[in-house]
Every structure is written in structure tokens, then in C-alpha cells.
Amino acid sequence: MWKVLLVEDEVFVRESVREIIAWEELGFTVSGEAGNGAEALDMIRREVPDLVISDIIMPEMDGVELLRRAREEGFTSRFVMLTCMNEFEYVRQAMEYGASNYILKLSMSVNSLRETLQKISQELVKHDEAARRSHASTAVEQVPAHEELTTHPEIQKILQYLHAHYSQDITVKSMSQYVMMAENYVSTLFKKKTGQTLIHYLHQVRVTQAIEYLIHSDLPVYEIGNRVGFVNDNYFIKIFKRLTAQTPSQYRQSNKEKPQPLSI
């Protein structure tokens, strides 16, 4: 079942969304609810939902800011935005940050929700199939070659920092401050020079280090995740599986008899 987080400050609307759909029939389950963006972000960090259905205008943190923060922290959950007729500038911003779709509250119906969920389900299935075809070696090969990725001094400085401090709390914002450059510029430049986002590269570094621990130590999975910089167990397992097509426990079991030391 794909996990869904409902985010809406109007309780009536939130209850309506929850009740009008037979979620399980479509392969989803509502795993949590939040009344504002700040609360929702904490829940995303803890539960890592596959889909977030979020109102755009909310107190404390609106839906666009919630989506922006989630993406900045590396969460790839699908987002569907609930909006009113006069909020299309917010919708435009949300789509720029990678929202999958939006639904007008006034015309929201069982059919519109079902069609959206079916679309999201297909996206999630395709994503998982692609992950299963991938292998840890692909990620590892990209990370040992980091010295050859670019000669740009600031990006090289960031790469070196990621490899030395991967266990620490690292964000695009903190790296932009580290090299004293604008956040958006660093994000764009890193992608241009390395071919991937800074957060995705960081995930590869962390998973590579986690593989070392899994093969060469008896540390429990949750401690390994914490040591390489994942403060959330569920998120560590999800990212690890995305890059290796196996959970950390499965990877450890399948490589027990044939350890292959990795170098970065």
C-alpha cells in the first residue's frame, strides 16, 4: 500500500477527502493527517509518505513552502495540491517545485480524486520498477569518481565537504553558506556540473558508507543509518532501497558470504 498524508487546516475538507475514497481499492492507505505545513513537514520526516495531498493556503507554513522544504531535504514524495479558484499563482509555483497535480476544491469529486490517485499510482509503480533495475554499483561508481566530475572550485569544495562530513546535517542552504554563494545558484550549478542534485549525491555518499558498515560490522540497521547521516530509520531504508533495490537487511544478508570492500 502506498502511504498518504492528508494536509488541510479545514477539518471538514480533510474529513471529506478521507471519507469519499475507498483508498485500499486503489492501493493507498491514509497513514497520517496534519492541520498545517509545519506539522506536515515533521510527519514527512518521520513517516516518509509516498503521496502528500495538501491544501495550498494554510497557517504557519503554506503548501508551496511545505513542498519546497520537502524537496530541499531530499524527500521525493508525490504532491497533489488542493486549491481555490483564486490561488493559481501558488499552483504555478507548486508545479515548478514538482507537484504532480492539483485539484480545485469547489469541483472536487470522487472521480477527480480517483483519476488523480490512479495517475499517481502509475508513477509510483514505474519509479519502483526503475529502482529495482538499478544496482548499488551504479551509485558507487558515480561516487568514487567525484574528483573527476568537475574542476569548478566551489563545487569541488562542496564535494569534498560531502565526503568528509556526510554524517552531519547537510542541506543546499548550508552548502551555499559554506561556499558563500546564492542558494539557487549553487543548486543549479551543482546539477549542471555533476548531473545530479546535491541531495541525491549526498544520498549516494551516505548509502555507500552504509554498505561498508553492513558488510564489515554487526551494527544494527538503525545505528548504521544514524552514523551515515539519516536521522529517520524509515527514510534511510527507503533511500537505501531506491539506490540498491534492496533493504539494508536484505543487502547485508545477500552479501554476507561475499564482502566487496568499497572505496570512495
- Quote the pLDDT of residue 149: 57
Q: Distance between CA atoms of 9 and 35, rounded to whole angstroms?
A: 4
How many residues are recorded in the chain?
A: 264
Which residue has cell 515533521? 42
- Quote the pLDDT of residue 179: 92
In this predicted structure, the answer to whether residue 47 has a pLDDT above a threshold of 90 is no
CATH number given to 2-133: 3.40.50.2300
Q: Distance between CA atoms of 106 and 184, rounded to whole angstroms?
A: 35
- For residue 79 the three cell numbers come to 504532491
In this predicted structure, the answer to whether residue 232 has a pLDDT above a threshold of 80 is yes
Sequence-separated contacts (24+) of 217-223 with Cβ below 8 Å = 221/248, 221/249, 221/252
- Quote the pLDDT of residue 231: 86
Residue 24: φ, ψ to 5°: -60, -35
Q: Are strands 51-55 and 101-104 parallel, antiparallel or unpaired?
A: unpaired
Which is more confident, 263 or 206? 206
Question: Across residues 223-230, what is the average pLDDT?
Answer: 94
pLDDT > 70: percent of the chain: 87
Tens digit of each residue's pLDDT (9 = 90 or more) over 103-156: 887 777 888 888 889 889 888 887 766 655 554 445 555 547 444 556 688 888
Tens digit of each residue's pLDDT (9 = 90 or more) over 57-79: 898 899 999 998 888 887 888 99
Question: Across residues 6-34, what is the average pLDDT?
Answer: 91
In this predicted structure, the answer to whether residue 215 has a pLDDT above a threshold of 50 is yes
- Quote the pLDDT of residue 254: 82
- For residue 14 the three cell numbers come to 480533510
From-to residues of CATH 1.10.10.60 in the chain:
136-254
SS3 category, 31? strand
**With contact defined as beta carbons under 8 Å apart, do 163 and 188 qualify?**
no
Burial class (CB within 10 angstroms; exposed 0-12, middle 13-18, buried 19+) of 218: exposed
Q: Hey, what amino acid is at 78? A: R
- Quote the pLDDT of residue 109: 82
Question: Across residues 8-37, what is the average pLDDT?
Answer: 91
From-to residues of CATH 3.40.50.2300 in the chain:
2-133
Strands in 101-104's sheet, in edge-to-edge order, are: 28-34, 2-7, 51-55, 78-83, 101-104
Partners of residue 3 on adjacent β-strands: 29
CATH class of residue range 136-254: mainly alpha
Question: Across residues 180-206, what is the average pLDDT?
Answer: 90
SS3 category, 247? coil
- The model's confidence at residue 177, banded by pLDDT at 50, 70 and 90, is very high
- Quote the pLDDT of residue 130: 60
pTM, rounded to two decimals: 0.58
Q: Distance between CA atoms of 61 and 41, rounded to whole angstroms?
A: 9
* Alpha-carbon distances, residue 118 vs 2, 13, 30, 51 (angstroms): 12, 21, 15, 12
Residue 126: φ, ψ to 5°: -60, -40
Residue 37: φ, ψ to 5°: -65, -35
Average pLDDT, the chain: 84
pLDDT > 90: percent of the chain: 38
